[in-house]
Every structure is written in C-alpha cells, then in structure tokens.
C-alpha cells in the first residue's frame, strides 16, 4: 500500500492547550533539594543513576548521556557523535482519543561546525519492537515513526525544521523554513499526533523572533507507536564553551 504524505509549512502563534493530562514531565534536575536525586552529581550517567524514572517507567540511553553542570539538564560525553534518551510508553495513547503532545526544551550548543551524516536534534514517536530502539535517524522503513529534526543544512548557521515519517515500510520527508541557530539560546520543539485522522504537527520556536515554524503531515493508515525518543546526532563531542543540552522532556494527552 502506498502511503500518502502531505506537508504544509506555516507560521503560527503558540498553541494553547487546556485540560491536558500529563504523562511525563521531566526536567532532569538533580542535586541537593531534589527528592530522590540528592546524591546525583553532574557527570553521572543517566542510565546508571537509578533515580530518574517517572511513573515507574525507566529512561534508557543511546551513547553516553550525563547530567550537566548546573543541576538541570542532560549533556553528552565520550567518543561518539550520536546520543539520545528514550522511554517506552503505552501504545494505547496513540490508538484513539485526543492528540498526544511531546515537547522538549534544548540548547543546541557549539558542536555543529563540521556536520556530517544526518546532524541535528530529533524528537519523535516510534515503534520500539520493529525499530529495535534505533536512533530516529536510522529507523527508516524498519519501523513506524514520526520525527522532527532541527537540522544543520549545510551552513550550520542556517538550520531548518524537517519531518521524517514512516509507516508500513513507506517513508516520507519534508524540509521547512530556515531557523537561525543561536548556540546558547533555549529552543522549544513540539510534536503533536492526532489518532482521529493520523495527522501530526511539528513546531519549533525561535527565541530571538518569538515566532513558531510549523510542519504538518498526515498518514493514510494508523501507525503503531510505543516509544518517545530524543536524539542528538552528528555533533562533535570535543570540549567547547557551549555543549548541547536537553533541558526538559514532556508528554501529554490533550
């Protein structure tokens, strides 16, 4: 079956959502005064900390993901240029009812001088069984997925929002508007999937202008999702003044 994808680029004001049911609300705070995380210090690996589980579910990692200096957020160490965090979620959230909304806040950092492969910050839903918990960049036709990427293209000063999708072995992609990158700014990326018509919308806020760039799409058949994932790919892990940082992740049923 051939899967149709329709993408529309628009400029929107931030959406207002009422009566949302929080599924995950995580800012990765640690240190003194944070219940259950008092003994976690900067540099502690997320997977090894044992105290970052919302609602009895566990975060897992790809690459070396550690708590960042300042007591709030995650950053990356090691020899790999790819890293991410992911968590299994109830697939029923995506099968019926109201839309599902994922959101991250992140600082891009200065590690994108010589991008290669598919560099950028990813936020997406995927099928952990067929995708085998791959980076979102590698899922392709092996598993259902909807992912946003804030991508370096090809001049790292002029980044753009992209959408990558796959369902029943058919994949699709589309590029949005350029969104200039400020290494030390906090950006917000959101992904909303609506089970009622298999549509999705992705947004990226530009902190300098206050605008929101948006991509929309629709799948012709319902996908199977049971994983929420955030990845950073194609970055340099050489020490620098401003490193990539994941500040928060949330998931709500609207």
As a whole number of angstroms, the distance between CA 215 and CA 116 comes to 24
Confidence of residue 246 (pLDDT cuts 50, 70, 90): very high
- pLDDT at position 21 over 50: yes
* Domain total of the chain: 1
Q: Does 13 fall in a domain?
A: yes
- pLDDT at position 228 over 90: yes
Q: How far is CA 156 from the centre of its chain?
A: 19
Among residues 195, 114, 187, 94, which one has the least CA distance to residue 149?
187
For position 17, what pLDDT does the model report?
39
Q: Does 27 fall in a domain?
A: yes
Q: Does 108 fall in a domain?
A: yes
Containing structural domain, residue 195 = 8-253
For position 121, what pLDDT does the model report?
93
For position 115, what pLDDT does the model report?
57
Burial of 230 (0-12, 13-18, 19+ CB in 10 A): buried
Q: What are 70-93's pLDDT values in tens digits?
A: 878 999 887 778 899 999 999 999
Average pLDDT, the chain: 83
For position 188, what pLDDT does the model report?
95
Confidence of residue 10 (pLDDT cuts 50, 70, 90): very low
Assigned token pair, 55: 């609602």
As a whole number of angstroms, the distance between CA 28 and CA 186 comes to 15
Q: Does 3 fall in a domain?
A: no
Assigned token pair, 90: 């109830």
Q: Does 62 fall in a domain?
A: yes
Q: What are 102-156's pLDDT values in tens digits?
A: 999 999 888 776 556 788 899 999 998 765 678 999 888 888 999 999 987 666 6
- pLDDT at position 49 over 90: no
Query: Residue for token digits 């796959």?
Result: 166
Residue 179 contacts residue 160 (beta carbons within 8 Å): yes
The 3-state secondary structure of the chain reads CCCCCCCEEEEECCCCCCCCEEEEEECCECCCCCCCCCCCCCCCEHHHHCCCCHHHCCCEEECEEEECCCCECEEEECCCCEEEEEEECCHHHHCCCCCEEEEEEEECCCCCCCCCCCCEEEEEEECHHHHCCCCHHHHHHHCCEEEEEEEEECEEEEEEEEEEEEECCEEEEEEEEEEECCCCCCEEEEEEEECCCCEEEEEEECCCCCCEEEEEEECCCCCCCCEEEEEEECCCCCCCCCCCEEEEEEEEEC
Q: Does 2 fall in a domain?
A: no
For position 234, what pLDDT does the model report?
84
Q: Does 163 fall in a domain?
A: yes
For position 153, what pLDDT does the model report?
65
Share of the chain above pLDDT 90, in %: 45
Among residues 121, 61, 62, which one has the least CA distance to residue 243?
121
CATH number of the domain that 152 lies in? 2.60.120.200
> What is the pLDDT averaged over residues 181-187?
88
> What is the pLDDT averaged over residues 189-208?
93
């Amino acid at each position: 079956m051939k899967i149709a994808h329709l993408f529309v680029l628009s400029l929107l004001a931030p959406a207002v959502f009422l009566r949302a049911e929080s599924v995950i609300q995580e800012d990765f705070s640690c240190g003194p005064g944070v219940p259950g995380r008092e003994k976690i210090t900067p540099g502690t690996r997320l997977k090894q900390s044992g105290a970052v589980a919302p609602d009895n579910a566990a975060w897992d990692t790809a690459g070396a993901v550690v708590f960042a200096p300042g007591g709030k957020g995650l950053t990356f160490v090691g020899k790999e240029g790819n890293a991410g965090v992911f968590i299994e979620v109830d697939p029923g959230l995506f099968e019926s009812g109201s839309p599902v909304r994922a959101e991250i806040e992140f600082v891009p950092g200065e590690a994108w001088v010589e991008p290669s492969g598919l560099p950028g910050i990813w936020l997406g839903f995927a099928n952990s069984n067929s995708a085998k918990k791959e980076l979102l960049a590698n899922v392709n036709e092996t598993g259902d997925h909807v992912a946003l990427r804030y991508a370096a293209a090809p001049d790292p000063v002029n980044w753009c929002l992209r959408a990558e999708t796959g369902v029943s072995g058919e994949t699709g992609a589309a590029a949005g508007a350029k969104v200039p990158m400020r290494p030390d700014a906090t950006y917000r990326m959101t992904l909303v999937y609506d089970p009622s018509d298999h549509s999705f919308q992705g947004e990226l806020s530009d902190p300098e202008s206050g605008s929101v760039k948006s991509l929309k799409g629709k799948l012709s058949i319902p996908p199977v999702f049971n994983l929420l994932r955030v990845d950073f790919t194609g970055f340099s892990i050489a020490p620098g003044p401003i490193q990539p940082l994941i500040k928060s992740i949330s998931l709500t049923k609207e």
